[in-house]
Homo-oligomer: A and B are copies of this chain.
């Protein structure tokens, strides 16, 4: 510790060493790291969450496929493949890979008016890029999403989802944003009743798990467990009960008699394994793979980047204590899309809504995806006729109840006091999310914070002191923060100003220990400054310049390499020289 002279480095022998790690490739199959500790309790939690998620993902997949301009089976294929692959490679229990509004909008933007084969090839190429990003360990980009941005993204996305679902909850059939009058005029009584009752039931059941008993007997302990099960399966229970009521109602009278809106019918048929359509013929035109790539253009890069960014932000919102292996998540997302393209799937990524529902349903491991996958597969085959009985407003109630607890406005108070930068990160990101979409909000947050770093890097702290060494007075210039190429000009100005201020009377010692990523910009600054100072008969001494960079300067003349550490004798060389400590 500073000022404490008793500090000593000690060698404690080989008792402590880093634990041996599995082979890199084996570690990629992430299921191996948790499957051995998988027990019945986790299995039950995952089963409940998986089934709940299955009932959420089916209507979502149909809706997002429609939004992308595709028929419903493409959405369901994607949901199935995403859920299954994630079990083996995914790291975060709450993440569910499948169709999302973001990917649907991207597909619409890049593939509208094009045959469906383009969408599948896009899934393949996006998957390839995501996979490569994972292999190249680009997961570090997650570090560039600061905490306030993650929080604002979470709140913003939750608000968007909740607001979007209010219309379905109340049975309002209105395209675009309704005026308050339209809003109240168009509320359907039956839908609103179902929706609001579902909401009340969900919020009540949510409280069950936090009931406390005075006496702790075996009975109360068992009762507590039952209440906990009911609480976490509340989403599934509500949807199932509503579906059953609708089913019985229809059997008693007819489908027209049901006063509230039901889900869209599911088209049946299992996904087939086949190569992605790399080349195909459509409307008498033959497309080669290269044609498809050319027409997709920037989509091949934009789609995976947006998917990875959204996925990583969602993962960061749900992961505990920041233990996020983002490269593994990229790899997994890539595999989901690559595998998906062999089953005619559209591009996929994680969805915030599904993660919130999983979380609210007590998910424990990615194993839940197995059950979700089975439900989706059943929906595509045997359960096809039954899924249309689920009332739309009951599903909206589930989504709203899941996301509403993720809305958190408390940062607005604390961040203003603690850091203006963080305050503007948070509020700006939230506003941009709400106004221009979540991907733009994320981008805003990342760019804003990068700008602050850039500003800081362009203005390094530099300490200038007059020092003496064996009665030789010299100017000591020492950067106090790391200098990258962007700080070089500032340092050059400081050097020049300092030399002029002391009227070129003293030798100048520049401490180079904080030079980072030493490159041509540094070399250029050092040689031009050395030349200027040499012209003024000022001795320039470069101190602590890493040995590996010294050869880059050897081409310049007037450079004298001295032994390390420098001594008073080094100040006695000709003043039209630059001295560099020889070895670090």
| A residues adjacent to B (C-beta < 8 A) | 1-4, 6-12, 16-19, 140, 142-144, 146-148, 321-324, 411, 414-415, 418-419, 421-422, 449-450, 452-459, 465-470, 473, 481-482, 484-490, 492, 496-497, 500-503, 509, 516-521, 523-525, 528, 532, 543-544, 552, 555, 564-568
A481 x B17 contact (CB < 8 A): no
Copies in the complex: 2
A489 x B143 contact (CB < 8 A): yes
Report the separation of the CA atoms of residues A159 and B59 in the bound assembly, to the nearest whole angstrom: 58
Report the separation of the CA atoms of residues A415 and B488 in the bound assembly, to the nearest whole angstrom: 18
Known: A19-B501, A456-B484. Contact between A1 and B516, CB under 8 A?
no
Known: A453-B517, A458-B140, A525-B322. Contact between A7 and B422, CB under 8 A?
no
CB of A407, distance to nearest CB on chain B (Å): 18
CB of A428, distance to nearest CB on chain B (Å): 14
With a cutoff of 8 Å between Cβ atoms, the chain B residues found around residue A516 in the complex are: 456, 481
A4 x B466 contact (CB < 8 A): no
B143 x A567 contact (CB < 8 A): no
B454 x A524 contact (CB < 8 A): no
Q: Which residue of B lies closest to A325 (CB)?
A: B493
With a cutoff of 8 Å between Cβ atoms, the chain B residues found around residue A469 in the complex are: 1, 4, 6-7
CB of A524, distance to nearest CB on chain B (Å): 4
Question: What 5 new A-B contacts, CB under 8 Å, besides A12-B466, A16-B502?
Answer: A4-B566, A10-B468, A16-B501, A19-B501, A146-B519
A482 x B482 contact (CB < 8 A): yes
B517 x A11 contact (CB < 8 A): no
With a cutoff of 8 Å between Cβ atoms, the chain B residues found around residue A458 in the complex are: 140, 143-144
CB of A483, distance to nearest CB on chain B (Å): 10
Report the separation of the CA atoms of residues A415 and B564 in the bound assembly, to the nearest whole angstrom: 28
Q: Which residue of B lies closest to A151 (CB)?
A: B520
Report the separation of the CA atoms of residues A552 and B452 in the bound assembly, to the nearest whole angstrom: 19
Contact of A147 among B140, B422, B449, B521 (CB under 8 A): B521
B567 x A473 contact (CB < 8 A): no
Contact of A519 among B323, B421, B489, B523 (CB under 8 A): B421
* Interface pairs A-B: 5 shortest CB-CB: A3-B565, A482-B482, A140-B458, A1-B566, A422-B520
Q: What are some 10 contacts across the A-B interface (CB < 8 A)?
A: A1-B566, A2-B565, A3-B565, A7-B469, A9-B467, A10-B466, A18-B501, A19-B500, A418-B520, A456-B517
CB of A83, distance to nearest CB on chain B (Å): 28
Report the separation of the CA atoms of residues A459 and B144 in the bound assembly, to the nearest whole angstrom: 12
Q: Which residue of B lies closest to A326 (CB)?
A: B489
With a cutoff of 8 Å between Cβ atoms, the chain B residues found around residue A465 in the complex are: 9
B566 x A485 contact (CB < 8 A): no
Known: A4-B567, A16-B502. Contact between A485 and B524, CB under 8 A?
no
A467 x B8 contact (CB < 8 A): yes
CB of A480, distance to nearest CB on chain B (Å): 10
Q: Which residue of B lies closest to A465 (CB)?
A: B9
With a cutoff of 8 Å between Cβ atoms, the chain B residues found around residue A503 in the complex are: 16
With a cutoff of 8 Å between Cβ atoms, the chain B residues found around residue A144 in the complex are: 454, 458, 486
A532 x B2 contact (CB < 8 A): no
With a cutoff of 8 Å between Cβ atoms, the chain B residues found around residue A532 in the complex are: 321
With a cutoff of 8 Å between Cβ atoms, the chain B residues found around residue A467 in the complex are: 7-10
Report the separation of the CA atoms of residues A520 and B465 in the bound assembly, to the nearest whole angstrom: 34
With a cutoff of 8 Å between Cβ atoms, the chain B residues found around residue A421 in the complex are: 517, 519
CB of A133, distance to nearest CB on chain B (Å): 14
With a cutoff of 8 Å between Cβ atoms, the chain B residues found around residue A552 in the complex are: 418-419
CB of A547, distance to nearest CB on chain B (Å): 14
Report the separation of the CA atoms of residues A484 and B457 in the bound assembly, to the nearest whole angstrom: 10
CB of A522, distance to nearest CB on chain B (Å): 9
